Structure 1
Amino acid sequence: MKIIQTVTVKQVLTEKSREELSAKYRKTKQQLQKECDQLLFEMKKLERTKKYSAAALKAQFDKEIELRKEKMKLVDFQMEQLEMLPYGSELKDQDIQALVDIKVGDSWEEIMSGKTIIVKDGIIEEIRER
């Protein structure tokens, strides 16, 4: 019988992976800034039509812009933390679903403890039983 199990993928921090993560964070931050700029543009455009209440319109757009600014602060924090981490640190990358074969006589505790895949520079380095 096969069951689906969640497997954690961790990335070993190397010079290459640090650069890739930094680039990813910068790209995310740029995207959030573009969204803020676009929201401001749309708000000004809608204000000129005078179809909507200016106060309600501004409140809604300000809320959306503030959400993106909070995400930008989080990205800044992640970038700071990334710079402080030593090489060789393991960072949780993602959780994936895997098919696991089980049979009568297997240890349920061992199966449920799950597995962790360790990736270094795009290469699977280790598969750990938790």
Structure 2
Amino acid sequence: MAAELPQLIYDGDCGFCTRSARLATRLPVRMRVRPWQEVDLAALGTDERRARHEVLWVSTSGRVSGGAAAVADLFESCRAPWPLLGRAMSAPLVRVLAERVYRWVADNRYRLPGATPACQLPPEQRPRGE
């Protein structure tokens, strides 16, 4: 199902994630930025397991990307010069490095500035938005 605007879906229980999503709103792109806890994930073609694991980018065509690929897709959707960074992040060798850096940040987000106690809990114990 095609959407009018792309969407950036993040973990609303995580302070670091929320701050990062707020920073993303400063990028030169029209998009909806929403916590996964307030989204019908199934309607977007994804699920809670994935949303807890990584940031998601849902294109206007309905394609869902996650993690470093989602960040690259976000940059590619912006006005210049950001698409250059997105394309660079998608290059084969850089993509591997970007995914490793993304995974390290995601796995250690509770240690980073803006973290909340919910960030430190194992995924199965974090608060759930109903």
Higher-Rg structure is: 1
- Structure with more strand by fraction: 1
Confirm or deny a common fold (TM above 0.5). Answer: no
TM-score with structure 2 setting the length: 0.28
TM-score with structure 1 setting the length: 0.28
Asked which structure has the greater RCO (Cα within 8 Å, sep 6+), the reply is 1
